[in-house]
A and B are shown apart, each in its own frame.
Chain A
Amino acid sequence: MPLVNYATREITCKIVYYGPGRSGKTTNLHYIYEQVPNDRKGTMVSLATQTDRTLFFDFLPLDLGSISGFNTRFQLYTVPGQVYYQSTRKLVLQGADGVVFVADSQARQLDENIESMQDLHANLAEHGMDVRTVPLVLQYNKQDLPAELIHDTATLDDALNFRGVPAFSAGALHGTGVFETLRGISEIVLRRLSPAGSSATPSTAHAGSR
């Protein structure tokens, strides 16, 4: 999928929300969906089970209108977090321009997070994408839960963020950090538009340091 088409002046970004089951990927998308003005949002496609778990995937097309003369569209996807939907995850990941890894901050979910992160790496590798260069941000969701139930961001950083990618603290249910995360990944993805490659600009500093 072309990220940017200069002939038709279009930018299309596919961003995939990845993470273990029930970490809040769909919640992220729902919050974004609510915030988008009506004329900008497409139909959110969500295939959920009766227990609100994503069966197949969610798809949220966002028409961002004209940015610097480019008609910009974002396609936000989530993958089903449950381990047994491996093939769907792989499928959705195909052609992704950026990945948001939504981690569940709950202490008891740490292993699931790590497992899902390993799964992400494996799937990216299978698509021939270099894990080190694929735009990736982390979101430590559910930070609004009582402190005794969750790991703080530093612990999660230690456990998950060994590549030192930008990480965001969030409470997706109330929207905290949702747009920060989306902004974070979008900026990294869009920086790659530059044909000369993404030279590190000073403004990457803020996102990188937590």
Chain B
Amino acid sequence: MELDARYRFENYVVGSANRLAVSAARAVAQAPGAAFNPLFIYSGSGLGKTHLLLAIGHLARQLQPDLKVAYSTVDELVDELNASVASSAVDALRERYQNVNVLLLDDVQFLAGRRETQTEILRLFNGLQRGGRQVVLTSDRPPAEIADLDERLITRFSGGLVVDVGAPDYETRAAIVRVKCDERGAKFEAGVLDELARIPFGNVRELQGALNRLIASQTLGERAVTPHNVREVLGERPEPAGASAAAAVAAPVRARTGGSEFSSFLSDLSAVVAQQIEPWRIRLLEVMSRWREEGFLTAAIERALEGAEEPDVEATVRQYESAVARLQSLARDAQALDPALAASDLFRDPERLGEAELAVARLLGAAEPPPGPSADYVRSDFEVGPSNQLAVHAADTVIEEPGKKYNPLVIYGATGVGKTHLLNALGNELIGLRGGATTVACVSARQFTEELIAALRDGTIERWRARYRVVDVLIIDDVHECAGTERTQEELFHIFNALYASGRQIVLSMRCAPKQIDGLEDRLRSRFEGGLVVEMQAPDHVLRERLYARALAAAEVRHDRSLVDYLAARAVASVSEISSTVQRLAQAADVVGVPLTASFARKELEGRIAAPAMAHTGNGHPADPLFLDEEKVIWDWPDVSGRAIEEFR
């Protein structure tokens, strides 16, 4: 029987659903009887079993023209058998089939229930197998599921290779419609065929039917098919059946006239490329290629590509590209400061983002150092007494071992007890360490917030942040000032963590203990309390003595011991009060032209007491305001004559 010339491997589109079957079929055609014998191909209707079967026949005959290839459907075979029985020519029939080299038997599921035919087939089968002849069978179901099939046939059918052909996937459908379209010489607007392929037809015949409708609709219809109306056109079936039939008939004629070898070659390549390049790989490769061209390393993407499984592509890409964007912005920052660094590979490797951040931060820190401690405050000027010795001791420890022992060091106390002095002095001492290589940021919380606001306004937040992240010591005065702020505390939190994690010293001061500050975020408070929290109290007697002595000496006032004793006995709230008192006394004595003595001081001070509301007693308990109110205190008691007059009245 002549094989239908339309069905060849060249125009059989290979997709993932039929790859195995096609490979097996080709192997069989190239070496009949050697590879898979019998080859049993099963699939649903319209998926190309018959095409494949005939393609085997063509190729086998093409490779070995003297090969006897027989194709038959089971129905035809049954008819032949019946006819031969009727004409007593059964032996001739048997002989004819026994001599073929390749037997292609289509639709073997129709053997179901035909006992006599099955017996004949079995006999035929045994003969062919003995002779090493190739048998290829197709069915719509696997051998074991064919009803009433002889057990011996089932085992024989299953003895070679049983493969199935699945429904084509999108890419395969797209390739099929393109091949068919080329065969027809039909042309569609871009996207139409893709849209058609997107419709999940369960088999190729339906797909071809749909394509026929499109072709018919385009050639005979009043409107062009566009990607948008593909489904509509297919849904409403506007053309008479004859039109599409005519198109279908015209197709094979044109297919033979030229270009079909090329188009089948093309469709095969499409299948190979589609198989090789999964969409997620394409996406990743595109990203990789793009950034590689810009000079970035793409190790992260390459790792994702190496995996056999599809990763979370978008997340990978997002992560990578955000790192690249960050690198680019860092490189821009670096460019302004150090073009040589900006050109370094560091800014091309997203894996080393951390290093790049640090390098730029260093650069920025060096270019725009954060405010340091004021040089006016010197550690040696700082007098120590019982009220502040704990804090001073802690500060000295920090100077000895910054970042080691008390980190963070939190010093709290009322205004004017010397926190700022101690902090700045501490900062100055630390700068002196390592020959000045230590960078110390010393800033008040208010200033810190102002800087942050300015950076936010100028869009230089990264730079601002970077400056603080590279310091060796961070000192922030009056941290309570940032209570209630959001962004400042947020930034402080991150800077704190960055510094703390790398063992750099943090020193903070505040008005009261961290837990007493309203509006201080818990995450900050807990971190502050994790170091050493010490209180600085108002100057005690010993400290006052020292401070007055120093203040008097500084004011170049000649004085005696009794003056210092008198002054030191008076409670003060702050250190600054001591110096202002000394200044006032010195001025007053200067005006009057008398030496500054204890009695002069008493007269001067007890005559008018400044800022009574601020007063504290030496032991830290607030004094009763009654005794400090000038108007309520009787300063000049009446003398005897006065009292007599009073009594007389």
Q: How far is the CB of A202 from chain B (nearest CB, A)?
A: 6
A43 at the interface (CB under 8 A from B): no
A88 at the interface (CB under 8 A from B): no
Instruction: Decide: B293 and A7 in contact? CB cutoff 8 A.
Output: yes
* Set of chain A residues within 8 Å of B293, measured between Cβ atoms: 7
A36 at the interface (CB under 8 A from B): yes
Whole-angstrom CA separation of A205 from B289 in the bound complex: 32
Q: How far is the CB of A142 from chain B (nearest CB, A)?
A: 15
Instruction: Decide: A210 and B30 in contact? CB cutoff 8 A.
Output: yes
Whole-angstrom CA separation of A113 from B290 in the bound complex: 45
Q: How far is the CB of B272 from chain A (nearest CB, A)?
A: 5
Instruction: Decide: B27 and A68 in contact? CB cutoff 8 A.
Output: no
A149 at the interface (CB under 8 A from B): no
What count of chain A residues pass the 8 Å CB interface test? 39
A179 at the interface (CB under 8 A from B): yes
**Closest chain A residue to B301, Cβ basis:** A195
Known: A36-B262, A37-B262, A191-B276. A72 touches B305 (CB 8 A): no
Whole-angstrom CA separation of A69 from B281 in the bound complex: 13
Interface locus among A20-28, A50-58, A117-125, A181-189: A181-189
* Highest count of chain B CB atoms <10 Å: which of A36, A186, A203: A203
Whole-angstrom CA separation of A206 from B25 in the bound complex: 8
B41 at the interface (CB under 8 A from A): no
A67 at the interface (CB under 8 A from B): yes
Q: How far is the CB of B61 from chain A (nearest CB, A)?
A: 12
Known: A187-B268, A206-B26, A209-B31. A196 touches B10 (CB 8 A): no
* Set of chain A residues within 8 Å of B270, measured between Cβ atoms: 67-68
**Closest chain B residue to A64, Cβ basis:** B266
Instruction: Decide: A205 and B23 in contact? CB cutoff 8 A.
Output: yes
Q: How far is the CB of B78 from chain A (nearest CB, A)?
A: 33
B171 at the interface (CB under 8 A from A): yes
Whole-angstrom CA separation of A112 from B24 in the bound complex: 35
Instruction: Decide: A6 and B288 in contact? CB cutoff 8 A.
Output: yes
* Set of chain A residues within 8 Å of B288, measured between Cβ atoms: 6
Whole-angstrom CA separation of A36 from B259 in the bound complex: 6
* Set of chain A residues within 8 Å of B277, measured between Cβ atoms: 68, 70, 193-194
A129 at the interface (CB under 8 A from B): no
Instruction: Decide: A190 and B276 in contact? CB cutoff 8 A.
Output: yes
A65 at the interface (CB under 8 A from B): yes
A176 at the interface (CB under 8 A from B): yes
Whole-angstrom CA separation of A42 from B281 in the bound complex: 31
Whole-angstrom CA separation of A125 from B637 in the bound complex: 120
* Set of chain B residues within 8 Å of A183, measured between Cβ atoms: 265, 268-269
Q: How far is the CB of B629 from chain A (nearest CB, A)?
A: 84
Instruction: Decide: A201 and B275 in contact? CB cutoff 8 A.
Output: yes
Mask of A125-143 contacts with B, CB within 8 angstroms, 1/0: 0000000000000000000
* Set of chain A residues within 8 Å of B281, measured between Cβ atoms: 194-195
**Closest chain B residue to A194, Cβ basis:** B276
Interface locus among B14-22, B362-370, B415-423, B612-620: B14-22
Whole-angstrom CA separation of A68 from B10 in the bound complex: 19
Q: How far is the CB of A175 from chain B (nearest CB, A)?
A: 7
Instruction: Decide: A186 and B289 in contact? CB cutoff 8 A.
Output: no
Which residues of B1-46 have CB atoms within 8 Å of chain A's CB atoms?
A: 10, 14, 19-20, 22-27, 30-31, 35
**Closest chain B residue to A195, Cβ basis:** B305
* Set of chain A residues within 8 Å of B120, measured between Cβ atoms: none
Known: A35-B259, A35-B261, A203-B22. A191 touches B272 (CB 8 A): yes
* Set of chain A residues within 8 Å of B275, measured between Cβ atoms: 201
Instruction: Decide: B30 and A187 in contact? CB cutoff 8 A.
Output: no
Instruction: Decide: A190 and B290 in contact? CB cutoff 8 A.
Output: no
A86 at the interface (CB under 8 A from B): no
Instruction: Decide: A193 and B262 in contact? CB cutoff 8 A.
Output: no
Which residues of A58-110 have CB atoms within 8 Å of chain B's CB atoms?
A: 64-65, 67-70, 72
Which residues of B273-305 have CB atoms within 8 Å of chain A's CB atoms?
A: 273-277, 281-282, 285-286, 288-290, 293, 302, 305
Whole-angstrom CA separation of A202 from B288 in the bound complex: 29
Known: A195-B281, A210-B30. A70 touches B289 (CB 8 A): no
B642 at the interface (CB under 8 A from A): no
**Closest chain A residue to B185, Cβ basis:** A37
* Set of chain B residues within 8 Å of A70, measured between Cβ atoms: 273, 277
B63 at the interface (CB under 8 A from A): yes
B576 at the interface (CB under 8 A from A): no
Instruction: Decide: B23 and A193 in contact? CB cutoff 8 A.
Output: no
Which residues of A4-44 have CB atoms within 8 Å of chain B's CB atoms?
A: 5-7, 9, 11, 32, 35-37, 40
**Closest chain A residue to B34, Cβ basis:** A209
Instruction: Decide: B27 and A209 in contact? CB cutoff 8 A.
Output: yes
* Set of chain A residues within 8 Å of B240, measured between Cβ atoms: none
Whole-angstrom CA separation of A180 from B353 in the bound complex: 51
Known: A195-B305, A206-B26, A209-B35. A190 touches B262 (CB 8 A): no
* Highest count of chain B CB atoms <10 Å: which of A70, A190, A194, A201: A190
Taking A203-B14, A203-B19 as known contacts, 15 extra A-B pairs with beta carbons closer than 8 A to each other, sorted by chain A number, are A6-B289, A7-B293, A35-B259, A67-B273, A68-B277, A72-B273, A182-B265, A183-B268, A190-B269, A191-B272, A194-B276, A195-B281, A195-B305, A201-B275, A202-B19
Q: Which 6 A-B pairs have CB atoms at the shortest separation, nearest pair first?
A: A206-B26, A6-B289, A6-B285, A7-B289, A35-B262, A68-B273
A sample of 18 cross-chain residue pairs with beta-carbon separation below 8 angstroms, ordered by A number, consists of: A7-B286, A7-B293, A35-B262, A37-B182, A64-B269, A68-B273, A68-B274, A72-B273, A179-B10, A186-B265, A186-B269, A190-B273, A191-B272, A196-B306, A202-B20, A206-B22, A206-B23, A209-B30
